[in-house]
Amino acid sequence: MSVPVLSLPLNDPAFVRDPYPLLARLREETPALRDPALNRVFLTRHADISAVLRDRTRFGRSALHRYSRDELGWPPPDPARANFDAFNGNHLLDSEPPKHTRLRSLVGLAFTPRRVEALSSRIEALLARQLAKVGADGFDLVAQYAEPLPVTVIAELLGVPQGERHHLRPWSAAIVRLYEPTHTAGEQAEAERAVLEFSALLRDLARLRRHDPQDDLITALVQAEDGGDRLSERELIDTCILLLNAGHEASVNGLSAGVLALLRQPEHWRTLAQAAPHQGSLPLFRTAAEELLRYDTPLPLFERYVLEEVDLFGETLRPGEKVGLLYASGNRDPRRFERPDELNLTRDPNPHLTFGLGIHYCLGAPLARLELALSLRALARAFPDLRLPDPDAEPEYVGGFVIRGLRRLDVVAG
């Protein structure tokens, strides 16, 4: 018996604003569904999504490491997106072994947990400086707090000069629009331009660092060596673009959605505000960050390509077809989480899917977690009486369901 055929309204503003009622109904009715317009089978339950993420034999982030485009029945590449496709096919996230193994080993030599944790004091200083700029009578938390930090942290981590940093957010926003299942020709052209411009900047910086090393990630990536193997210039550039896009979008959307969830349930904000001034409070904020990433998933949908013919709930899938993994649905699955629609800031364990599983587990997860925990604590210390000016107002989201982020979040100090 084949899976149900249904249409997912991924670009419907009402669904993007609150996907959880529909996802809950679908999750209880069926573990999988096919959307003919999007030509994908979507999985709704935590266990099935987890199984696909861990199955390296039958599913992957790419299929072109095993098959040609002709063998898969894919059309020729679109020359209008050649630079985006070259970037997307070359970085760590969309590579498969043995290329993925090699890239992850080399990048891991430079992007270490120690380097991330060493950023703590710098992140706290940046947060304090940003909070000093906002108005206590009211401000847009997205533009004035959530967005500046990840861009600045990634820029400082990479070693991007101050005068070039204003480009990073627009470049990231343009590139990630192409990860939505549907996009316009104009958005495609903007992404192409962003890849070219960002690549040119990084190429210049990499060449400078080879002759004049600095204490930054680009220098570390230039110098990373494993048994005589090094990153090529193109691999280094695409790795840096990926770090900006993945780290920035998840951090901005995770913090904004997390604060919205907390302020809609003010007792949870009061819990954090009471803890924030105390020494030793960071573990609570780390646990709270994990729960917020589960409760309102900042990147709700990821995909895998089928690598071998496989039967999913009676649906035969062939190599090159796509499987949509509804992380936002799996993260609310009552089969895996007790009272999943409730916000529990001390939930432990918390096996959410937000950073993926298996070999493609997010390399930047430690940085995203640190940024979110420190950002929440700094905000709760500065504004313990933070609230929404109109708790009943419907938030507006930018983009679609894949890169799901608030357009703005107006808050007042008390």
- The b-or-e profile of 89-107 (16+ CB within 10 A means b, else e) is ebbbbbbbeeebebbbebb
Q: Is 249 a catalytic residue?
A: yes
The predicted structure's pLDDT at residue 410: 95
- The b-or-e profile of 161-181 (16+ CB within 10 A means b, else e) is eeeebebbbebbbbbbbbbbb
Confidence of residue 206 (pLDDT cuts 50, 70, 90): very high
How many percent of the chain have pLDDT more than 70?
100
The predicted structure's pLDDT at residue 267: 96
List the catalytic residue out of 172, 199, 251, 329.
251
User: In three state form, how does the secondary structure of the chain look?
Assistant: CCCCECCCCCCCHHHHHCCHHHHHHHHHHCCEEEECCCCEEEECCHHHHHHHHHCCCCEECCCCCCCCHHHHCCCCCCHHHHHHHHHHCCCCCCCCCCHHHHHHHHHHHHCCHHHHHCCHHHHHHHHHHHHHHCCCCCEEHHHHHHCHHHHHHHHHHHCCCHHHHHHHHHHHHHHHHHHCCCCCHHHHHHHHHHHHHHHHHHHHHHHHHHHCCCCCHHHHHHHCCECCECCCHHHHHHHHHHHHHHHHHHHHHHHHHHHHHHHHCHHHHHHHHHHCCCCCCHHHHHHHHHHHHHHCCCCCEEEEEECCCEEECCEEECCCCEEEEEHHHHCCCCCCCCCCCCCCCCCCCCCCCCCCCHHHCCCCHHHHHHHHHHHHHHHHHHCCCCECCCCCCCCCEECCCCCCEECCCEEECC
The pLDDT tens digits of the residues spanning 84-140 come to 988 888 888 889 999 999 999 988 888 888 888 888 999 999 999 999 999 878 999
Six-digit token string for 186: 């104009």
Q: In the predicted model, is pLDDT for residue 297 greater than 90? A: yes
List the catalytic residue out of 110, 220, 246, 380.
246
181 in Cβ contact with 402 (< 8 Å): yes
403 in Cβ contact with 177 (< 8 Å): yes
The pLDDT tens digits of the residues spanning 171-202 come to 988 998 888 877 888 999 999 999 999 999 99
The predicted structure's pLDDT at residue 176: 85
Confidence of residue 260 (pLDDT cuts 50, 70, 90): very high
pTM reported for the whole predicted model: 0.93
217 in Cβ contact with 247 (< 8 Å): no
Q: Which of 47-51, 176-180, 246-250, 368-372 has the highest mean pLDDT?
A: 47-51
The predicted structure's pLDDT at residue 114: 85
State the chain's mean pLDDT as an integer: 92
Confidence of residue 56 (pLDDT cuts 50, 70, 90): very high
Handedness of CA 127, 108, 299, 178 (dihedral sign): positive
The predicted structure's pLDDT at residue 357: 95
List the catalytic residue out of 63, 329, 371, 380.
371
119 in Cβ contact with 157 (< 8 Å): yes
Q: Where are the domains of the chain?
A: 13-411
Residue 98, preceding peptide bond in cis (omega within 30° of 0): yes
Six-digit token string for 249: 């979008």
326 in Cβ contact with 401 (< 8 Å): no
Rg (CA), the chain: 21
- Please tell me the distance from the alpha carbon of residue 212 to that of residue 205, in angstroms, as a whole number: 10
Give the CATH number of domain 13-411: 1.10.630.10
Nearest C-alpha neighbor of 108 from the set 356, 413, 361: 361
Q: Is 328 a catalytic residue?
A: no
Six-digit token string for 149: 């930090």
193 in Cβ contact with 175 (< 8 Å): no
Nearest C-alpha neighbor of 249 from the set 366, 184, 169, 327: 169
Six-digit token string for 327: 């992380």
List the catalytic residue out of 96, 249, 290, 291.
249
- 180 vs 347, more confident: 347
Strands 322-326 and 40-43: parallel
The pLDDT tens digits of the residues spanning 373-402 come to 999 999 999 999 999 999 889 999 987 898
Q: Is 315 a catalytic residue?
A: no
Confidence of residue 1 (pLDDT cuts 50, 70, 90): low
- Please tell me the distance from the alpha carbon of residue 205 to that of residue 190, in angstroms, as a whole number: 23
The pLDDT tens digits of the residues spanning 22-53 come to 999 999 999 999 999 999 999 999 999 999 99
List the catalytic residue out of 250, 257, 362, 373.
362
Of 22-31, 40-49, 238-247, 362-371, the poorest mean pLDDT is in 238-247
The pLDDT tens digits of the residues spanning 300-341 come to 999 999 999 999 998 999 999 999 999 999 999 999 999 999
